[in-house]
Amino acid sequence: MRVALAVPCYVDQLRPQAARATLTLLERLGCEVSLAFDAPCCGQPMFNAGVLGGARDVGATWATSARAFDAIVMPSGSCTQHVRHHLPALLSNADAVSDARTAGRPSAADATHAARVTYELCEFIAGPLGRTSLAGRFPHRVAMHLGCHAQRGLRLGGSSELHEAASGPMRQLLVGLDGIELVPLDRPDECCGFGGSFSAAEPELSVAMGHDRLRDYTAHGAGVLVSSDPSCLLHLEGIARRTAPALRAMHIAELLEEATR
């Protein structure tokens, strides 16, 4: 299957190993991966900050770049959620439609196509690729953190407030590995505290929430923390360097790539 790899801006700048692992893993699973997707940002940071004009501009670039592809894969649940749930509305208002007609900008149909073909990594592996388990080994005690956007926006996991059991493609891929032990958590789907611009506006509360999550992981003997969202991972890893330095933080692409070598 031919897919495009989209590397979110903060992954490119702060967690490039997650992008490299995603590329290696997809190729190992038989995908022909194109690196020609030419959109450095989906627009989520600007959208969350209320800068809708800027979000619309970079979103237009995303929609234009998506025209040539039938599947775009990202190592980020939050960026995928933004493209899927916000990009069509951003580019379907009257101003955007007018721009599209007069300046060759993408249409609402282009935005709808981009939303339809953009996938989070685990969602893509378990969905279009049809691989709900992978042959591999990872003999460690692992705490799984599914970010809020992936869990509650993309519905890639059960939510405790809805009395749903733990589920989703990331969990499926992890439990299928030999030797792995997913540790039980007291609050398995609680926010890590990052929340994008929330962490900048409310840094003390953001860090306190991160400390709460780390105490849950370490109290249950986790040696590895894994997340499908690099933003959550970077937030928790930064706190862990000071409070739980023995805890190894990994993006799900990094873990699966290592486990399937």
Instruction: Please indicate, yes or no, whether residues 6 and 122 belong to a single structural domain of this protein.
Output: yes
**Residue 102 to residue 122: CA distance in whole angstroms:** 39
Among 126, 157, 185, the domain-final residue is: 126
Q: Is residue 133 part of a domain?
A: no
Instruction: Please indicate, yes or no, whether residues 146 and 213 belong to a single structural domain of this protein.
Output: yes
Instruction: Please indicate, yes or no, whether residues 7 and 100 belong to a single structural domain of this protein.
Output: yes
Residue 248, Cα to own-chain centre: how many angstroms? 19
Instruction: Please indicate, yes or no, whether residues 250 and 145 belong to a single structural domain of this protein.
Output: yes
Q: Is residue 207 part of a domain?
A: yes
Instruction: Please indicate, yes or no, whether residues 44 and 82 belong to a single structural domain of this protein.
Output: yes
Q: Is residue 106 part of a domain?
A: yes
Among 72, 103, 126, the domain-final residue is: 126
Beta bridge partners of 151: none
Q: Is residue 251 part of a domain?
A: yes
Kindly report the CATH number assigned to the domain that includes residue 225: 3.40.50
Q: Is residue 134 part of a domain?
A: no
Return phi, psi of residue 194, to 5°.
-70, -70
**Residue 144 to residue 161: CA distance in whole angstroms:** 18
Q: At what angle do helices 94-103 and 52-66 cross, to 10 degrees?
A: 50
Across 237-242, average pLDDT: 94
Among 91, 126, 161, the domain-final residue is: 126
Instruction: Please indicate, yes or no, whether residues 244 and 161 belong to a single structural domain of this protein.
Output: yes
Q: Is residue 131 part of a domain?
A: no
Instruction: Please indicate, yes or no, whether residues 244 and 147 belong to a single structural domain of this protein.
Output: yes
Instruction: Please indicate, yes or no, whether residues 51 and 151 belong to a single structural domain of this protein.
Output: no
Instruction: Please indicate, yes or no, whether residues 227 and 151 belong to a single structural domain of this protein.
Output: yes
Q: Is residue 22 part of a domain?
A: yes
Residue where the block lists tokens 């997340």 = 227
Give me the DSSP letters along 88-146: HHHTSSHHHHHHHHHH----HHHHHHHHHHEEEHHHHHHTTT--SS-S-B--SEEEEE-
Task: Show the domain range for 192.
Answer: 141-259
**Residue 49 to residue 197: CA distance in whole angstroms:** 7
Q: 26-45, pLDDT tens digit by residue? A: 999 999 999 999 888 999 98
Instruction: Please indicate, yes or no, whether residues 120 and 8 belong to a single structural domain of this protein.
Output: yes
- The pLDDT value given to residue 123: 97
Q: Compute the Cα dihedral for 252, 257, 258, 260 and give only its sign.
A: positive
pTM: 0.91
Residue 217 has pLDDT above 70, yes or no: yes
Instruction: Please indicate, yes or no, whether residues 109 and 225 belong to a single structural domain of this protein.
Output: no
Amino acid, res. 61: T
**Cα–Cα distance list, 19 to 142, 159, 257 (Å):** 21, 28, 11
Instruction: Please indicate, yes or no, whether residues 115 and 227 belong to a single structural domain of this protein.
Output: no
Q: 61-112, pLDDT tens digit by residue? A: 999 999 999 999 999 999 999 999 999 999 986 454 444 444 567 888 999 9
**Cα–Cα distance list, 246 to 145, 161, 241 (Å):** 17, 31, 8
The lowest-confidence range among 92-96, 184-188, 191-195 is 92-96
How many structural domains does the chain have? 2
Q: Is residue 121 part of a domain?
A: yes
